């Protein structure tokens, strides 16, 4: 069975641009969460979506937004990119939102020049 | 909010020996504690998890213990092998977001 898939794997942008990252969950999983991982740190929670609604938000500015589609795939959008947004962006899926094991994709490596 | 502290940041053990990684959490409402292994260029891989109504869980060479009173939990890897070399993260959750520790880089020495 396919795991969590993310695209693209790598992306280079310049300051001020906008980026959209995509995630397809494991088949049957209805919850998708997004995390940011900077080098040498653990992943930091950005959003959780369940049944197409936002169910949790981390301490990130409004430049970060996301949505979940009827097929449970998800997009993370980041506007007005800053150098500090350079990181690995991870998507995780789980059966539902309440303390179910979250399974991660391999992430999108975003570099801001 | 929840804060997860993880020690040590780096750990080197001889192949075949045991490795222990310790974590503490701050929010007594946290009730789910997963452990992840992350290899270079990959996303975190769930290796074991424990819920607050259980004190210990074992899966082959990996075991996790939880002390709710002291708010700490530990990962034990026995008979370490070269493929155990990776970064390990502990985490805590109370229903939605998972809060991660900063990670332990485990080196298995030949």
Residue B78 distance to chain A (closest CA, Å): 24
Count interface pairs A-B at CB distance under 8 A: 59
Residues 6+ apart with CB under 8 A from A83: A15, A112
Q: Decide if B44 touches A, using CB distance below 8 A.
A: yes
Distance between A65 CA and the closest CA of chain B, angstroms: 16
pLDDT for res B1: 84
**CA distance from start to end of chain B:** 41
Q: What is the mean pLDDT of residues A40-67?
A: 94
A106–B42 CB contact, under 8 Å: yes
Give chain A's mean pLDDT. 95
CB-based contact A97 B102, cutoff 8 Å: no
| B55-80 b/e (C-beta count within 10 Å ≥ 16 → b) | eeeeeeebbbbbeeeeeebbbbbeeb
Cα(B56)–Cα(A57) distance, rounded to whole angstroms?
Answer: 31
Nearest to A31 by CA among A98, A113, A89: A98
Q: Which residues of A touch B36 (CB under 8 A)?
A: 104
pLDDT-based confidence at residue B95 (cuts at 50, 70, 90): confident
* Chain A residue with the nearest C-alpha to that of B43: A106
Integer angstrom CA distances of residue A86 from A19, A28, A34, A45, A89:
12, 31, 15, 15, 9
Categorize the per-residue pLDDT at B76 as very low, low, confident or very high, splitting at 50, 70 and 90: very high
Which of A55, A98, A106 lies at the smallest CB-CB distance from B43? A106
User: What local confidence, expressed as pLDDT, does residue A1 receive?
Assistant: 63
Q: Mutating which of A25, A36, A43, A54 best tests the B interface, going by the most B Cβ atoms within 10 A?
A: A43
Contact call for A42 and B34, based on CB within 8 A: no
Decide if A113 contacts A47 (C-beta within 8 A): no
Q: Quick check: B96 and A56 CB within 8 A? A: yes
Residue B96 has pLDDT above 80, yes or no: no
Instruction: Work out the average pLDDT over B62-86.
Output: 97
Q: Which of B43, B89, B98 sits opposite A105 (nearest CB)?
A: B43
Residue B7 has pLDDT above 90, yes or no: yes
Higher per-residue confidence, B81 vs A96: B81
- Shortest distance, CA A79 to any CA of chain B (angstroms): 23
Residue B26: strand pairing partners? none
- Interface residue B3 vs chain A (CB under 8 A): no
Q: Give percent of chain A above pLDDT 90.
A: 90
């Amino acid at each position: 069975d396919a795991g969590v898939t993310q695209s693209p794997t790598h992306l280079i942008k310049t300051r001020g641009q906008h980026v959209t990252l995509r995630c397809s969950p494991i088949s049957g999983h209805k919850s998708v969460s997004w995390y940011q991982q900077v080098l040498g740190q653990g992943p930091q929670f950005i959003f959780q979506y369940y049944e197409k609604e936002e169910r949790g938000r981390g301490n990130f500015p409004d430049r970060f937004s996301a949505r979940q589609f009827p097929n449970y795939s998800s997009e993370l959008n980041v506007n007005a990119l800053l150098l500090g947004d350079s990181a690995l962006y991870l998507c995780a899926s789980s059966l539902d939102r309440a303390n179910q094991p979250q399974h991660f994709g391999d992430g999108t490596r975003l570099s801001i020049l | 909010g929840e804060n997860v502290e993880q020690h040590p940041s780096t750990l080197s053990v001889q192949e075949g020996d045991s490795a222990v990684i310790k974590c503490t959490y701050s929010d007594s409402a946290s009730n789910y504690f997963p452990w992840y292994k992350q290899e270079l260029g990959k996303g975190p891989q769930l290796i074991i998890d424990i819920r607050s109504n259980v004190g210990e869980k074992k899966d082959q060479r990996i075991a996790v213990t939880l002390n709710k009173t002291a708010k700490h939990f530990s990962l034990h890897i026995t008979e370490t092998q070269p493929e155990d070399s990776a970064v390990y993260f502990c985490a805590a959750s109370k229903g939605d977001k998972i809060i991660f520790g900063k990670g332990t880089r485990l080196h298995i020495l030949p």
